[in-house]
Amino acid sequence: MFHKLITATAAGVTALAMTAGVARAEVELTYSSWLPWSHPVNEAIYIPWMEAIEAESEGRIKFKRLPKPVASPPAHLDAIRTGQADVAFSVHGYSRNQFTPYLFGEFPMLGDSAEATSIAFQRTHDKFMSDMDLYKGVHLIGVNLHGPGQVHHSKMTMIKPSDFEGQKFRTGGPIPLAMVEAWGGVSIRQPAPKSFEILSSGIADGITFPFESLPSFKITELVPYTTTMPGGWYNSSHYLVMNKRTYDSLSDEDKAVIDKFSGEAFAALAGAGWDTINAAGLKAATEAGNTIVEASDELKAALMELNEQFTADYIEASKEFGLDGQEVIDFFKAEAEKAAAM
């Protein structure tokens, strides 16, 4: 698939660097990451993406990884728009009103493969959102999903909806927030990097995260009880952007290199990367002796009922953007099935 092409291309970086005739870099693009460069998301997705472009351009394009982020996580879209850095990724949920058309990508039970759902998500963007000018001032590289989010707790697994009552969960998006509050829980709104702090201090009893985030935020032992949901309790949609003036200033040859690793090719790379690191997170939790159980039929039915309301709300909200929300959802689901079968 597309990610194999990118991986193979990136593998040539070392060989190129050892070749005396490598062309001098003509373009240096600054990349700001609000995650540490050693974070699995960067190691599995964004660094390989940069290395693939550097290799494909034969050294004409180079990326400078900034040692510190230029802004807070939610402010990275504006930071790229205003030229504080050239490239960054962010989360649609950080700008919920602006990116309402993408909310369906956070729904429960979307699928167990981030690669398949990311490809479907990109195809849905291409069909319905590409002409909507949602990314003013930036050039969109691509979109993706992080794979199934699960429920992790410090003291117990969740057996029924009432188990959430009075429990404090750090939630990262509108869907897990609505889920927790619908069942009587309390949503703690803190950035992901504060997860260890709020769990270790008892501010939060549990957290909604994909498996990747347990080891990467060092909370595997703080939340030793996980309740999984087939297809995920929720998901999260992300995007990678470049400053528009920077992209427009590139030569046609260099634009072609960026474009080659954009769109569906990027979505496949990002989704496959998330599948890899989510599997690693699950392995770490298992090896730590954590208790991992699948949600009961009662919880599955309760979540499906909530999802009916999420869907109805999305269909209504999407009208403001001239979209038929049900058509968007149906198209995404069909494309996810196709991608999963590939």
> What are phi and psi for residue 243, nearest 5 degrees?
-55, 130
Domain 2-146+238-278 maps to which CATH number in 1.10.3720.10, 3.40.50.2300, 3.40.190.170, 3.50.50.60? 3.40.190.170
Cβ-based neighbour number of residue 289 at 10 Å: 9
State the pLDDT confidence band at 342, using cuts at 50, 70 and 90: confident
What does the pLDDT look like over 62-109, one tens digit per residue?
Answer: 999 999 999 999 999 999 999 999 999 999 989 989 999 999 999 999
pTM given for the model: 0.90
Task: Judge contact between 250 and 258, C-beta under 8 A.
Answer: yes
Sign (positive or negative) of CA dihedral 161, 300, 312, 208 = positive
Which residues is 62 bridged to in the sheet? 28
What does the pLDDT look like over 245-284, one tens digit per residue?
Answer: 999 999 999 999 999 999 999 999 999 999 999 999 999 9
**Tokens coding 140:** 């969109």
Coil vs helix vs strand at 250: coil
Same fold, 2-146+238-278 and 150-233+287-324: yes
List the CATH code of the domain at 150-233+287-324: 3.40.190.170
What does the pLDDT look like over 27-38, one tens digit per residue?
Answer: 999 999 999 999
How far is Cα 228 from Cα 226, in angstroms, rounded to an integer? 6
Region of 217 please: left (phi>0), alpha (psi -120 to 50) or beta: alpha
Give all strands of the β-sheet with 291-294 in edge-to-edge order: 186-188, 168-170, 206-209, 150-153, 225-228, 291-294
More confident residue, 241 or 14: 241
> What are phi and psi for residue 159, nearest 5 degrees?
-105, -35
Q: Where are the domains of the chain?
A: 2-146+238-278, 150-233+287-324
